[in-house]
C-alpha cells in the first residue's frame, strides 16, 4: 500500500513540478526556481551527501510526495526531517504517511530524536505533529524572508520515547528503499 522509493534522477521533473506548486511552496523554508538543470545539480550534490536521504512516497503504486531526513547525526542519533504531498488529491494522507516514517527512524535507524521547522501558518501540520507526540521547542520570530515579508518559524521535536509510547502507531511499518 505505502512504499518509500529512493529518490532518483528520473523523479526530478515530477519533484520540481510538486515543489513549485503554490500549495506546497508556501510552507517550504526555501524557494526554488523552476529550472530542471538546477534541480539536477541539487540532486548530484545530495547524492553524495551522507547527512541527507530522500524518498518518493508511493501510495498504491502512485508517486504522491517526497519525504527526507537531513542533518543526519549518527553519533548523536538525531536528524531533521521534512516532507510534502505533491499530488493535491492525496493531501488527506499527510498524517497517515508519518507513522511509517517515524517507525523507520526510531525502530530501524534507532535514532533518539527528530526535529524540524514549521513555517507559521501551516496549522494543519503543526496539529498533526502535536497529535503524534511532537513538542513545541520555540518560535523564531521573523526568521524567513519570503514573498516580501518576514515569517515566523516554529521549532518542534519528537523524541523516540514519546513516539514509542504511542502503541496505536507501532504497526505502521514500510520498506524504505536504500536504507541508510
CATH number of residue 106's parent domain: 3.40.630.30
Residue 178 lies in a domain: no
Report how many domains make up the chain.
1
Residue 132 lies in a domain: yes
Residue 130 lies in a domain: yes
Residue 180 lies in a domain: no
Residue 144 lies in a domain: yes
Beta bridge partners of 82: 68
Parent domain of 22: 2-169
* Separate counts of helices (H) and strands (E) for the chain: 6, 7
The reported pLDDT for the residue numbered 175 is: 86
The reported pLDDT for the residue numbered 180 is: 66
Please report the sign of the dihedral spanned by the C-alpha atoms of residue 17, residue 22, residue 27, residue 32: positive
Residue 175 lies in a domain: no
Intervals of the chain under pLDDT 50:
none
Q: What share of the chain is helix, strand, coil (3-state, %, to 5)?
A: 35, 35, 30
What is the C-alpha separation between 36 and 33, in angstroms, rounded? 9
What is the C-alpha separation between 94 and 124, in angstroms, rounded? 9
What is the C-alpha separation between 158 and 142, in angstroms, rounded? 24
- What is the distance, to the nearest Å, from the Cα of residue 21 to the centroid of all Cα atoms in its chain? 16
Residue 176 lies in a domain: no
Q: Look at residue 179 and give its three-state secondary structure.
A: coil
Residue 89 CB partners (closer than 8 Å, separation 6+)? none
What is the C-alpha separation between 50 and 52, in angstroms, rounded? 6
Residue 174 lies in a domain: no
The reported pLDDT for the residue numbered 178 is: 83
Burial 101-115 (b: 16+ CB within 10 A, else e): bbbbbbeebebebbb
Amino acid at each position: 500500500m505505502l512504499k518509500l522509493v529512493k529518490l532518483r534522477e528520473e523523479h526530478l521533473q515530477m519533484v520540481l513540478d510538486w515543489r513549485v506548486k503554490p500549495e506546497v511552496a508556501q510552507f517550504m523554508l526555501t524557494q526554488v526556481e523552476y529550472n530542471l538543470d538546477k534541480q539536477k545539480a541539487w540532486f548530484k550534490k545530495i547524492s553524495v551527501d551522507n547527512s541527507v536521504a530522500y524518498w518518493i512516497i508511493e501510495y498504491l503504486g502512485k508517486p504522491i510526495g517526497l519525504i527526507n531526513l537531513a542533518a543526519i547525526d549518527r553519533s548523536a542519533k538525531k536528524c531533521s526531517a521534512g516532507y510534502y504531498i505533491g499530488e493535491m488529491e492525496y493531501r488527506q494522507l499527510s498524517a497517515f504517511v508519518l507513522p511509517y516514517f517515524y517507525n523507520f527512524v526510531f525502530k530501524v535507524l534507532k535514532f533518539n530524536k527528530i526535529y524540524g521547522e514549521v513555517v507559521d501558518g501551516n496549522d494543519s501540520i503543526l496539529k498533526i505533529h502535536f497529535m503524534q507526540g511532537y513538542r513545541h521547542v520555540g518560535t523564531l520570530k521573523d526568521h524567513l524572508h519570503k514573498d516580501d515579508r518576514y515569517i515566523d518559524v516554529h521549532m518542534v521535536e519528537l523524541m523516540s520515547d514519546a513516539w514509542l509510547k504511542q502503541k496505536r502507531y507501532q504497526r505502521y511499518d514500510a520498506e524504505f528503499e536504500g536504507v541508510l
